[in-house]
Structure 1
Amino acid sequence: MPAPKNISVLFIEDSPHDAELAQLSLERNGYTLVHAEQVFDHDGVVEALQRREFDLILADFILPGYSGSQALQDACNLAPQTPFIFLSGVFGEENAVNMMRSGAVDYVLKQNLGFLPKAVERVLDEVNERRRRLKAERALREIEVRARLAIDAARLGLWDYEPPSDTLIWDERSRAMFGLAADTPVSMALLEQLCHPEDREALRLQVQRAITQESDSEFCTTYRVLREDGRICWIETRGQAFFEDGECTRFLGVVMDITEQQLATQNLKRLNETLGERVEERTRERDRTWELS
């Protein structure tokens, strides 16, 4: 016996007896109708769908002063995400096909009521899968937004390289770091050209190793760039290569201008060297003074 599944159902049906039989069929197959409501005309359908949300709509095709096709149109307008199943005593293949094309998800005959639970199960599984997918997509969008905010706050540039097509993409901030205009075509060849001659070969080998040797470790390298305005900038690049069947299909990451940090480090190193020389000189003077005394 399957575990109970709580659902709310709107019956668009003029026969209370038929609605009750459909409800019993669902309950025997593990469904618990936490809310079941029966209407049979336009006003009833509109009022019910405006008042609350349903997990499922079951509708007859022949209704007094109304019709299943009109009910389907009203449901599509008011509750487009709610699955709509026809449960009718009237069958016509062309009629069923037309209703499915208009938005119904299934067409079950009342004389084959045993098929209803399976149809409902299939439809609700599809709805739940769609909801999970939408939830995952929303979560992914939130992650992307947070990542973008973090990247903007850190003033990082984004790059994306596809080795199979040798396509390299830089965002606006990356181009600015390398001193390029927004419409300048970029490529790995251009990156090597901009790289300082003393760092060029090392960068080439590191990139080649990253896209040919599958690894979970992060790619990280630092190199100098010769800008068109004559400035020398230090760039730090971090990224990750992704492989399929042993072949790198995508290599992407971020770049950061670390020129200020490098200059500060070099100045500090020179200062330490100068202080060391001064200390050594003073030590020598002190030793000479001691020897003379």
Structure 2
Amino acid sequence: MSIPLRVLFVEDMEEDVILMVRELKRGGFEPTWQRVDTEPDMEAALRDKWDIVISDYSMPMFSAVDALELVKRQNDQIPFIIVSGAIGEQTAVEVMKAGAQDYFLKSAIARLPVAVERELRDALVRRKQRLA
């Protein structure tokens, strides 16, 4: 049985999104998704309900840091994962301090389903703690 998952991808390369969707399906998810690569498109997309946001770190017109700030302003309960072709350790620490829940390299894309499952579980725990 597949687990329904609503994913907002912040990514300028459609091919990379297709690869991530394929990995999510292999991991037991049934993703419904949208891809955005500009701030106005992301602002519009955030009007919908998403289970998770997965963002490329650097794009020509928009950055993961800007996307993370938008998500935190609109709904800080949505898990946010950053993927990158090449992200240095210092940059990874900075984005985690800014509020991203996880990051990994695109070369480790097979790790995506496990990371998503963990972040969804952790987000549920955080929501329950806030309600208590």
TM-score by length of structure 1 reads 0.44
Cα pair 1:41 1:63 within 8 Å, conserved: no
Residue of structure 2 equivalent to 1:107: 103
CA RMSD of aligned residues (A): 1.3
Change (3 A) 1:69 1:134: closer
| Equivalence map 1:32-181=2 (5 Å) | 32-33=30-31, 35-49=32-46, 51-134=47-130, 137=132
Question: Structure 1, residues 69-109: CA drift from partner, whole Å, max 9, x if none?
Answer: 11111111112110000011121000000000000000011
Question: Structure 1, residues 213-268: CA drift from partner, whole Å, max 9, x if none?
Answer: xxxxxxxxxxxxxxxxxxxxxxxxxxxxxxxxxxxxxxxxxxxxxxxxxxxxxxxx
Cα pair 1:41 1:64 within 8 Å, conserved: no
- Report the number of matched residues: 132
1:131 to partner: Cα distance:
3.1
CA distance in 2, matches of 1:72, 1:131: 19
TM-score by length of structure 2 reads 0.94
Cα pair 1:25 1:116 within 8 Å, conserved: yes
Specify which structure has the bigger relative contact order, considering alpha-carbon pairs within 8 angstroms and separated by 6 or more residues. Answer: 2
Residue of structure 2 equivalent to 1:272: none
Residue of structure 2 equivalent to 1:20: 18
Question: Structure 1, residues 178-217: CA drift from partner, whole Å, max 9, x if none?
Answer: xxxxxxxxxxxxxxxxxxxxxxxxxxxxxxxxxxxxxxxx
Change (3 A) 1:65 1:116: same
CA distance in 1, matches of 2:97, 2:128: 25
Counterpart AA for 1:47: A
Cα pair 1:11 1:19 within 8 Å, conserved: yes
CA distance in 1, matches of 2:104, 2:114: 10
SS of equivalent residue, structure 2 residue 6: strand
Q: Give 5+ residue unaligned stretches, structure 2.
A: none
CA distance in 1, matches of 2:76, 2:129: 17
Cα pair 1:84 1:105 within 8 Å, conserved: yes
Q: Give 5+ residue unaligned stretches, structure 1.
A: 138-293
Residue of structure 1 equivalent to 2:28: 30
1:134 to partner: Cα distance:
4.4
Aligned-pair identity (%): 35
